[in-house]
Structure 1
Amino acid sequence: MLNKITTKILIGILFIITVASCNDKPKTETTEEKSEIVKHKAKAETPEYFMLRPEVEKAYGYSHAVKIGNAIKVSGAVSMDDEGNPTAIGDLEQQMKNCYADLEKILKHYGCTFNDVVAENIFTTNMPKFLEVAGYRTEIYKNQFPTGSWLGVKELAIPEFLIEIELEVHKTN
């Protein structure tokens, strides 16, 4: 009999504690704390644009990269000189290396490396040749490979371009 009474008392106490804790009001931020949170969030979400070759990018109407918060989206890199002329014409392997060299410059601008790349999409007009030289990527991605796709396409922006590589990056704090 005592066990039944003790059990009922314990259940009653637990019920009272549960109801009381449900009535606790969550801590609310002060106006000053809310203002700081809004300022920080707005700053973190303000896009930061980067142009690798400003004159070329303005002429074609794009920015090479944009960072919002910790996310960075990098437009497709192609093998071109500073005036926008194709380089390494007819040499897919060298064009790929030129793309990665440009991508590395963009990553460095944001304080990143290829270790921060989370997605890589490669577009090529010659998939069989790309598959022959794709092993070069092991020199770029030393720790792990990002997600991504390899797509064979009919053509790129300029007929001499054989490959284009775009990235998505997550910058760690």
Structure 2
Amino acid sequence: MYLKLFVFMTLACISLVSQSEELKPEYFSLRPEVEKAYGYIHAVKIGNDVKISGAVSMNDDGSPTAVGDIEQQMINVYADLQKVLEHYELGFSNVIVENVFTTDMAAFLEVSGDYRNKIYKGEFPTGSWLEVKGLALPEFMIEIELEAYSPH
């Protein structure tokens, strides 16, 4: 009986150790110096879940790009999000939540439909779209955060 209990406890411990190793966070920085300056990390994968911080239209030094052009800002944001997804060997088909924050919802709705239909070829993700008074810098008109499911 003690041998069975010992074997059971040993297997349980091995299982817990392997699960904890699986759930070790895997962090990814798209722009490490900018992220450090603002105090965030662009993405983290824990198990099968990938959380991606809100992306805005910026260059590698953190300066806003496409100022005043919400369509180009949206395209730039999705391009950055794609880079993060690709780091984890994922695509937009793996996205399960998309939250959009914009300073001009009417303008976003005008430009987003066709573009989003191109990147989300299957089902659209769940999510929320919110019009906000402002984002991190006044030049930013749109910010999008994602959650994705990783099968590997």
Q: Report TM bin, short chain.
A: over 0.9
Q: CA deviation at 1:160?
A: 0.3
Q: CA deviation at 1:32?
A: 3.8
Alignment of 1:4-153 (within 5 A): 30-135=8-113, 136-153=115-132
Q: Counterparts of 1:33 and 1:138 in 2: how far apart (Å)?
A: 48
Q: Counterparts of 1:40 and 1:169 in 2: how far apart (Å)?
A: 23
3-state SS in 1 of match to 2:128: strand
Higher relative contact order (CA 8 A, sep 6+): 2
Q: TM-score, normalised by structure 2?
A: 0.92
Aligned to 1:9: none
3-state SS in 1 of match to 2:66: coil
Amino acid at match of 1:51: S
Count the aligned residue pairs: 147
Q: Counterparts of 2:18 and 2:79 in 1: how far apart (Å)?
A: 33
3-state SS in 1 of match to 2:123: coil
Q: Counterparts of 2:87 and 2:13 in 1: how far apart (Å)?
A: 30
Q: CA deviation at 1:33?
A: 2.1
Runs of 5+ consecutive residues of structure 1 not aligned to the other structure:
1-26
Runs of 5+ consecutive residues of structure 2 not aligned to the other structure:
none
Q: Counterparts of 2:44 and 2:84 in 1: how far apart (Å)?
A: 10
3-state SS in 2 of match to 1:119: strand
Q: CA deviation at 1:109?
A: 0.6
**What RMSD, in angstroms, separates the aligned Cα atoms of the two structures?**
1.4
Amino acid at match of 2:116: R
Q: Alignment identity in percent?
A: 60
3-state SS in 1 of match to 2:127: strand
Structure index of larger Rg: 1
Q: CA deviation at 1:47?
A: 1.2
Matched, 1:165 2:144: yes
Query: CA deviation digits over 1:117-142, x for unaligned, max 9?
Result: 00000000011100101111001100
